[in-house]
Structure formats: structure tokens, C-alpha cells
Structure 1
């Protein structure tokens, strides 16, 4: 299973999102710092979930990072997260 698929499944289970896009940006960073040659080093996550209602931007990012366990910073070099609640 790819890291992209793994993150999608984890986030789907953790947040029951109304929108979820896990975008592989690794090709844009080929040859740059953090590119490990795997083709799965840089990602953008766009996620909308009721779980984020009333949470700050920082807390939302912490929630997403925590749910992903060892993936951010270990198996993925860079992770951009945009987490919103429905209606935002």
C-alpha cells in the first residue's frame, strides 16, 4: 500500500470527513531537500470534518498529525494540512 493510500484510510477512519484529498506533491520537490527518491516525500492534505468545529488551526493540524502516527516527519518529509469544519 502506498503512503498516500495509507494516509487516506487513516484519516477517513479518524475523522469521517465530508471532504478528503491527499495530494502527492513529491514530483514538485524532486532533487530538493527531503526528497528520498520514493516519490512519496511531500503531501498536501485537504480535509473537512465536523471533528474540527470549534478547534483552532493549530489544534486541527495537531489532530491530523497525531492520527497519522509516525508518518509525518519519519516516512514523509513535508506535510501541508488545510483542515476545516463544514461551512467554513
Structure 2
């Protein structure tokens, strides 16, 4: 399973999102800090879920980061999180 698939599966299980996009942006960071051969190090996550409604932006981001704790420790160097409206 690719890292993108793992991230998608973990966030789907944790938040039952209405919308979810996991975009591997590693190719934009070739040669930069944290980049590794084979990529899968830099990601953008766009998520819309009612589970994050009412939380501050910081709390929303913390919730996503906590859900992806294992992936962040293993291989993911950078994660850009975009919380989308649910309405």
C-alpha cells in the first residue's frame, strides 16, 4: 500500500470525510530537506468532515496530525492540511 493510500485509509477511518483528497507533492521537493528517493514524503490533504466542525483551526490540524502520527514518524516529512467547509 502506498503512503497516499495509507493516509487516505487512516483519515477515512478516523473522520468519515464528506470529501478527501490526498495529493503527493514530493516531486516538487526533489533535493530539498526531507525528500527521499522514491518520493512519498510531502503531501497535501484536503478534507471536509463534520468531525472537525466547531474546532479552532489549530485543533483541526492537530486532529489530522494525531490521526497520521505513525505515517509522520515513518516517512512523511511535510503535510499541508486544508480543512474544507462541510456545508
Q: TM-score, normalised by structure 2?
A: 0.93
User: What is the number of residues matched between the two proteins?
Assistant: 87
1:67 counterpart residue number: 67
Choose between structure 1 and 2: higher helix proportion. 2
1:31 counterpart residue number: 31
SS at match of 2:71: coil
Per-residue CA shift, 1:16-65, capped at 9, x if unaligned? 00000000000000111111112101000000000011001110010001
SS at match of 1:7: helix
Over the residues paired in the alignment, what is the CA RMSD in angstroms? 1.1
Residues 36-55 of structure 1 mapped to structure 2, 5 A cutoff: 36-55=36-55
How far 1:84 sits from its partner (Å)?
3.3
SS at match of 1:45: strand
Specify every segment of 5 or more residues in structure 1 that has no aligned partner in the other structure, as ranges: none
Runs of 4+ in 1 over 4 A off after TM superposition: none
